[in-house]
Amino acid sequence: MIDLKLPRPAAPAATVARRADTRRRDRNWVLALVLLLVLEVLYFSVTVSGFFGNGSGLLALSEQFLDVGAIALGEAVVILAGEIDLSAGTLSSLSGIVMAVLWQQQHVEIWVAVVIALVLSGVIGAFNGLVITFFKVDSLLVTLATQFILGAVATALSGSSPPYGFPGSFVSIAGTGTIGPIPNQLVVFAVLAIGVAVAVSRTRMGRSLALIGYNRPAGRYSGIRIERTVLGAFVFSALMAGVSGILVSGLYNAARDDIGNSLLLPAITVVVLGGVDIFGGRGRISGVIVATFVLGFLTQGLLVAGDSSLSATMVTGILLIVCLVLKIGLDRRAGLDVRAMLRQRIARTSGPRRAGEAS
């Protein structure tokens, strides 16, 4: 009475299906970014004297933008989950200031001060996350508000003459020291980046993160613990912002309350350039890592060549637009209709419409 069906033999892999293979299309974008990075470095090495510097010059330049990279790693996690964290920039300042003030005024051992600053960052991230999940306020608004609060507190704490002149061991390890030709900051960043990449693609938390970014209601109906996952993402983003603040302090050998917020938009740019969907779900951390270097070397290359930072910013904007247009073109070739996707997403977020698809 019940005929058990044998599985039908799978159809031969059609080209259409292979193109729409989700893993392939994101990998292609990362490869395109790598190519862009290579071309860019070659171009500046040939045309700008002092850019390549026998390789070590190039590596040393990376110190100038790894603070952005650290924030981007955290921001990528939050954006994957379909949220955004605007407070990461000023939190970075606050973290550096707290560490410096503890060390200078309270005479706390510098590494203990670092740990305290990071713990405080995590707590602030948890605060963001709790307000967002518990009161269901949009993350854009919550973090916009905490951005102001943290920025004001950081400036107030730093006083008229911010602390400077940290112990040499700190400046060497977290700042300008090197292992051979490789800057310590690059090592720190590499460890963090690989950790985040593995965590996102290979842990249950990372899986939940991406799924709720793609379709949050479906995640809820599948038993994913949304609140916990979102909270985790904000704590993580805040920790990365904290790390970034420590790196800034080490690099300048001074606490800077004025730098943090200028890191936020470049970090978000890096995330989007890296192929992460600003609406959540899709994207790879490897793309974000490569994009950090693409954008960083571009800016540094222009600055070394003597262009003003204004023109560097302008070129960044142009690069971002060109890349996004290219990416949408690539997606369309891969059988993805981006506009239809956007429409769906907007329909999904606006109002409780329950239209049946086809009847």
Binding positions for another protein, rule: CB under 8 A: 1-5, 7-8, 10-14, 16-18, 20-24, 198, 201-204, 207-208, 210-211, 214-215, 217-225, 281-282, 335-336, 341, 344, 348, 353-359
Q: What's the rounded Cα separation, in Å, for the pair 150 and 250?
A: 20
**Least spacing, CB of residue 1 vs another protein, in Å:** 5
According to DSSP, the residues that pair with 183 across neighbouring strands are 178
According to DSSP, the residues that pair with 178 across neighbouring strands are 183
**Least spacing, CB of residue 140 vs another protein, in Å:** 22
**Least spacing, CB of residue 125 vs another protein, in Å:** 23
Question: How is residue 284 written in tokens?
Answer: 């790879």
In one-letter notation, the amino acid at residue 17 is A
Q: DSSP readout, 153-193? A: HHHHHH-SS--B---HHHIIIIII-EETTEEHHHHHHHHHH
Q: What's the rounded Cα separation, in Å, for the pair 229 and 91?
A: 21
Among residues 280 and 296, whose Cβ is nearest to another protein? 280
In one-letter notation, the amino acid at residue 344 is Q
CB 112 within 8 A of CB 134: no
**Least spacing, CB of residue 216 vs another protein, in Å:** 10
Among residues 17 and 137, whose Cβ is nearest to another protein? 17
Among residues 14 and 318, whose Cβ is nearest to another protein? 14
**Least spacing, CB of residue 200 vs another protein, in Å:** 11
CA 337 remoteness from chain centre = 26
CB 81 within 8 A of CB 230: yes
The CA-CA-CA angle for residues 78, 79, 81, to 5°, reads: 70
CB 275 within 8 A of CB 263: no
**Least spacing, CB of residue 355 vs another protein, in Å:** 8
CB 297 within 8 A of CB 37: yes
Q: What's the rounded Cα separation, in Å, for the pair 248 and 260?
A: 9
Burial class of residue 81 in the structure, from the number of CB atoms within 10 Å of its CB (0-12 exposed, 13-18 middle, 19+ buried): buried
**Least spacing, CB of residue 174 vs another protein, in Å:** 28
Among residues 222 and 311, whose Cβ is nearest to another protein? 222
Among residues 149 and 341, whose Cβ is nearest to another protein? 341
Q: What's the rounded Cα separation, in Å, for the pair 250 and 165?
A: 10
**Least spacing, CB of residue 340 vs another protein, in Å:** 10
User: Of the candidates 75, 64, 36, which has an alpha carbon nearest to the alpha carbon of residue 299?
Assistant: 64
**Least spacing, CB of residue 211 vs another protein, in Å:** 6
User: Of the candidates 95, 94, 76, which has an alpha carbon nearest to the alpha carbon of residue 85?
Assistant: 76
Among residues 1 and 310, whose Cβ is nearest to another protein? 1
Among residues 198 and 322, whose Cβ is nearest to another protein? 198
Among residues 242 and 275, whose Cβ is nearest to another protein? 275
Among residues 227 and 307, whose Cβ is nearest to another protein? 227
